Structure 1
Amino acid sequence: MLLIDRANELMDEHRLREAEFMFKAVLKENNRNGAALFGLGRLCIRLEDYDSAIYYLRRACENLPKQLEPLFTLAHCFIQVGSPVDAKTVLEYTLNVAQHSARAHYELGQFYLDYGFISQAKTVFSQGITCQNEEVTPYIFRELVQLASTHSLSSFITPLEKLLEEYDDKGLNIVTYYALGKCHHRLGHYDQAFEYFKLANSTQLQYCDFRTKDMLPLFEQIKQHFDSAFFEKATDRVTTTFIPTFIIGLPRTGSTLLEQMLVQHSCIGSIGENTALSDTIVPYLIKRSEAPFPYCFSNLSTSASDYCRSLYIDEIKKHRVPDEVVINKLPANFQNIGMIYRLFPDARFIHLTRDFGATAWSVYSNHFDANEPYFCSLNEFKLYAEAEIDLMAHFEKCIPKNILTLSYESLVAQPEKMINRVLRFLGQEYEPECMEYYEDHRPVNTLSKAQVRKPISKAPLTNWHHYKKNMIELLNDEQTDQSEQTNPVSP
C-alpha cells in the first residue's frame, strides 16, 4: 500500500505521470488491485481521457465491491461523456446495494433533479433523510425543503434543528441554516426565515478571504484598458461555424430560464456556465505576456489570438455542441466582454437585468457553494451590483450592436415576445418549442434546476416583499459595521 499512498500523494501534487507510473507498477504485480485501478481512473479523469477512465473505473468497481466511491466516480464519468442512461444505471445500482447510505440517496436524487425528474428526486431525497445522518444529510434537506409539499414541511424543522446540534462544522451548519430558512419561508414564517438566512450569510461571510471593494480597482482597469479606442481598432478577420453568445449579468437574474428556453431552438446549444475564458485563456496570456489581466491583452499577436480562439473552440467540441449559436451562460463573463470581443468580434451578449431588491433577496436566500462575499452579504452584493451596472454601461456605449439588454420582469411578463426579440438578435427564426422548455430533460446544474422544470411563475417577482423592511435594516446595519471597521471610534 505504500506505493498506492505515494501515487495518491503525487496525484494531489498534480505530478500525474509519476503517479501513473506507480499505479501501473502496482498493477504489474496484481492486475486486480482495486485501489490502483481506482487511482488510474481518477487520474484519467484529470487528463480528460474519459474512455480510459471508464475502463479503469469499471474494473475498480468489480474489484472493490464494498466501496461506493468508485461507483459514484464512474457515474460522474458517464455524465461527462454524455451517457446519462449509463450514469443512471450505475447510481440506481448503487442505491440498490447500499439502501442505508444517505450518500447513495443524495447522488441519485441529484441526478434525477439535474435531469428534470422531479418526483423521482423528491422520493429518493425523502428516503435519504430516514438514513443515518452523514455529511450529505443537510444537503438532502436543502433540496427536499424546496420540493416537498407544504403540509410536510413542519416535520422537517425538528430534524434540521437537531442537525445543528449534531454537527460541529460551520460549513454544514450554513447549509442547514439555508434549509431552515427555506422551510420557514414556504410555511409563511417570515421572521424565522429571515433569522436563519441571516445566520447562514453571516457565517458564510467568515469564510470569504476578500471583500468586494478589493475587486473595484480591477473593474476600473478593465474600463481603462478596454476603452472606446480599443474597440475602434480593426479586429482580426474571424470565421467560425458558430455565433459565440454570452448570457451575462448579476446572479439570479434569470439566466437559467432564458438558456433553457433558447436551447429548445433547433439551431441553439449551450456549454453552460463555462469558465474556460478565465481558467484557461487568461492564465495562458498572463504567462505569455508576463502581465496581469487585462494588460495581458496589450499588443496581442494574431497567432496568440488564434491560439486563444482554438482553446475556446476546443471547449465547445469537448461539450459536443455543433449548433449555429453556442451559449455560455456564466453571468460573471460581463467582466470579460473586452477579451471576448477581441477574440470573437461577432460575439453576442445578452445582458439580463432584474429589480435590485428581488435580485438581492434571491442571492441572499440561496446557498452558493463559492465563498465569495457578494453571495452572502447584502451590502457586499449592493457594491458588486453597482460595479456591474457601471461596467455594463461602459461596454454598452462601446459596442451597442453586440449587446442586447433584457429584463427578467419582461421575460416573465411577455415570454414569447421577449424570446422573439432575443432570437432576432441572434439571427434566428422563432420556434414554438422555446415555450415548452419545462418539458425538457437535458441537465441543469444551477440553483434554478427545479424552477425551470415548471411553467413560468410570477412568484419570484414579489417573494422578496416579505423581507423588504428586514433588508433595509440589514443594509443599514452592515454599512454601519463596515464604517466602524474602516474608521474605528475610540472609546
Structure 2
Amino acid sequence: MLLLQRANELLAENKLKEAEFMFKAVLKEVPDNGPALFGLGRIAMRLEQYDHAIYFLKRACNHLPKMLDPLFALGDAFLAVGSAVDAKTVLEYTLSIAKHNAHAHYYLGQFYLNHGFISEAKNTFTAGLKCPTGPVSAFMLFELSQLDEKQNLEGHIKSLSELLSQYDNKRLEVVIHYALANCYHRSEDFKSAFLHYKLANEAQYSQCHFQTEDMLPFFDSIKSVCDSEFFKQPLDKVKATFTPVFIVGLPRTGSTLLEQMLIQHENIDSLGENTAISDKVVSYLEKRVEAPYPECLQRLSTHVLDYGREIYTNEIRNARIEAPYVINKLPSNFQSIGVIRKLFPDARFIHVTREFKANAWSVYSNYFEHDEPYFCSAKEYELYAQAEEALMTHFKQCIGRHIHTVSYETLLAEPEKTIKSTLNFLDQYYDPECMNYYKGKRLVHTLSKSQVRKPLTKAPIEAWKKYQKDFESLLSQETISS
C-alpha cells in the first residue's frame, strides 16, 4: 500500500518514469492490482500511448468494477484513437451502472453533444439534474441553457440562482453567470442577459494572471525574426505524404464551420484544434537550439527541422488520418506561421476574418475555459485583435500567395462560392457534399459544436445587434486594470 501511495504521489507530481516503475513494482507482487493498472493507464494517456492506455485501462475497469474514473479514462482513450463507437459503449455502460451519478450523465451528455446527437445530449443532461445536486449540475445547466426548450428556461434560471448562492467557487460563478445570460437571452430579456454576461466576464477576468499588453513584444519579435529575408531563405526539400492546412485567425470567426464543410471532401481530413506546433514542436526547437521562440528560428539545422517535422507527422499517424490534406484549425497558429513554413514548405494557410464588433461580442458572450484576458474583456480582446491583424498583414506581405482569406460574412452569404474558392486554393475539385456538413457526426470539441449541426443561417451576424448600444458603450468605457 505504501508503494502504491508513493506511485500516485509521483504521478501527481508528473514524475512519470518514477511513477511507472512504482506501479509496475506493485503489479509484480499483485498482477491484477486495479489501482496500479489504472495508474499505468493514466501514464500512457499522458504520454499519448493510447493503445497501451486502452490495454491497462480495460484491465483496471475489470478489477475496479465500482469505480467510474477508469471507465471515463477508457472512454477518453477510445476517443483519442478515433473509436467513437467504443467510447459510446463505455460511457453508456458507465451510466447504466451509475444512474444516480451526475458525472456519468455529464460525460455521456458531452459525448452525445460533441458527436452531434443533440436530442440525446439534452435528454441525458436533463436526467442528470435529477441526481443529487453538485458542482457538475452547473455545467449541465450551462449546456441546457443553449439546448433546452424555451418553456424550461425559467426553471433553469431558478436552479442556477440557487447554485450561485450555494458555492463559493470562482469557476462555477463564471459558468453559472454565462448559463443565466444564455437563459435570459433566449427568453428575450436582453437587459438581464447583458448583466450576467458582464458579471461572467468580470469574474473570469479577475482570475487572469497576465494582460494582453504583455504579449505585444512577443508579436513584434515574430515580425522582426520572420521578416521578408527570413521567408526568402532556401527551404528544405520535403517529401511529405500529406499537405498541412492551417485555419488561423481570431476565435469565433467561423473556423469550425469552415472546417466541417471542407472535411466532407474525400481528400480532406482534420486534426481539430491541435496544439502540437506550439506545445511540442516549438518546445523541442527551443530546447534543442537553447533559444526562445521566435529567436530559435534563426538557428535551425536540417536535422532539427527533420525531427520537428516528425513530431507533427506523428500527430497525423496517431489520429489515423490518411487523407492527402490535413487541417489543423487552432486559431492561434497564426503566431507559428514562420516555423510552419520552415517545417512544411507546401503548407497552406486559410485566414478567417469577421467584422470586429460582431466577433468581439461573440467572444464576450461565450465561455472560454482558459483564463486568458482577451477572452473575458472587450478592451483586452480589441488589443489582441489589433495584434493579430498586424501580424497577419505582415505575413501576407511576405508569403501572400500561400494565404487564402475567408470572410465569415461571405461564407454565410455565399457558401458555395466561398467553398469553391477555398477548395481551388487547395487544388481540389468542388464537392456538393460540403454543403451537407450539418448532417455529419464527426467529433467537434469547440464552442460551435451545436451550431455546426444546423443548416446555415445569418442569425449569428444579427445576434449581437440586440446588445449593440450596451456593448459599444462597454468598448468605449472599459478600462484595463493593472
- Tell whether the structures are fold-level matches, with TM greater than 0.5: yes
Tell me the alpha carbon deviations over residues 333-385 of structure 1, each in whole angstroms, 9 at most, x when there is no partner. 11111111111122111100001111111101111011100000000000000
Aligned twin of 1:52? 52
| Structure 2 counterpart of 1:202 | 202
* d(CA) in 2 for partners of 1:326, 1:52: 26
Specify the code of the residue in structure 1 equivalent to 2:194.
F
1:472 is matched with 472
Q: Does 1:284 align with 2:275?
A: no
| Residue matched to 2:34 | 34
Which deviates further from its counterpart, 25-34 or 117-126? 25-34
Q: Which amino acid aligns with 1:464?
A: W
Superposed CA deviations along residues 170-219 of structure 1, whole A, max 9, x for unmatched, are: 11111011000111011101110011111111110111110000000011
Q: Give the corresponding residue for 1:488.
A: none
SS at match of 1:405: strand
Instruction: For 1:282 and 1:54, locate their aligned partners in 2 and report how far apart those are by CA, in whole Å.
Output: 29
**8 Å Cα contact 1:103/1:134 also seen in 2:** no
Work out whether 1:100 is the aligned partner of 2:90: no
Q: Which amino acid aligns with 1:314?
A: N
Q: Following superposition of structure 1 onto structure 2, how do residues 57-96 of structure 1 map, counting pairs within 5 Å? A: 57-96=57-96
Aligned partners of 1:354 and 1:407 also within 8 Å: yes
Contact 2:81/2:320, CA 8 A, preserved across alignment: no
Following the alignment from structure 1 to structure 2, what is the Cα–Cα distance between the partners of residues 395 and 157?
47
- Counterpart of 1:358 in structure 2 is 358
Q: How does 1:86-485 map to 2 (within 5 A)?
A: 86-479=86-479, 482=481
One-letter code aligned to 1:173: E
Task: State the distance in 2 between where 1:126 and 1:71 align.
Answer: 22
What does the per-residue CA deviation read over 1:439-469, in whole Å, with 9 as the maximum and x for residues that have no partner?
A: 1111000000000001011110011001111
The letter for the 2-side match of 1:407 is S
Question: What CA RMSD, in Å, does the superposition of the two structures yield over aligned residues?
Answer: 1.2
Gaps of 5+ in 2: none
Q: Equivalent pairs: percent with the same residue?
A: 57
Q: 1:58, 1:74 within 8 Å by CA — same for their partners in 2? A: yes
**d(CA) in 2 for partners of 1:137, 1:4:** 33
> How far apart, in 2, do the equivalents of 1:249 and 1:165 lie?
38
Q: 3-state SS of the aligned residue for 2:369?
A: coil
Letter of the 1:445 partner, please give it: H
The answer to whether the Cα contact below 8 Å between 2:272 and 2:329 also exists between their aligned partners in 1 is yes
Residue 391 of structure 1 deviates from its aligned partner by: 0.7
- TM-score, normalised via structure 1 length: 0.96
Deviation at 1:11, TM superposition (A): 1.5
Give the Cα separation in 1 of the matches to 2:169 and 2:302: 51
State the shift of 1:405 in Å: 0.8
Equivalent-residue separation in structure 2 for 1:385 and 1:369 (angstroms) = 19
- Asked if structure 2 preserves the Cα contact closer than 8 Å seen for 1:250 and 1:332, the reply is yes
> Distance in 2 between the 1:399 and 1:42 partners?
43
Stretches of structure 1 that go unaligned for 5 or more consecutive residues are 486-491
Q: Deviations over 1:258-279 (max 9, x none)?
A: 0000000000011111111111
SS in 2 for 1:251: coil
Deviation at 1:473, TM superposition (A): 1.8
Tell me whether 344-353 or 299-308 shows the greater mean CA deviation: 299-308
Following superposition, the deviation at residue 29 of structure 1 comes to 2.5
For the 8 Å contact 2:288–2:304, the answer to whether it is kept is no
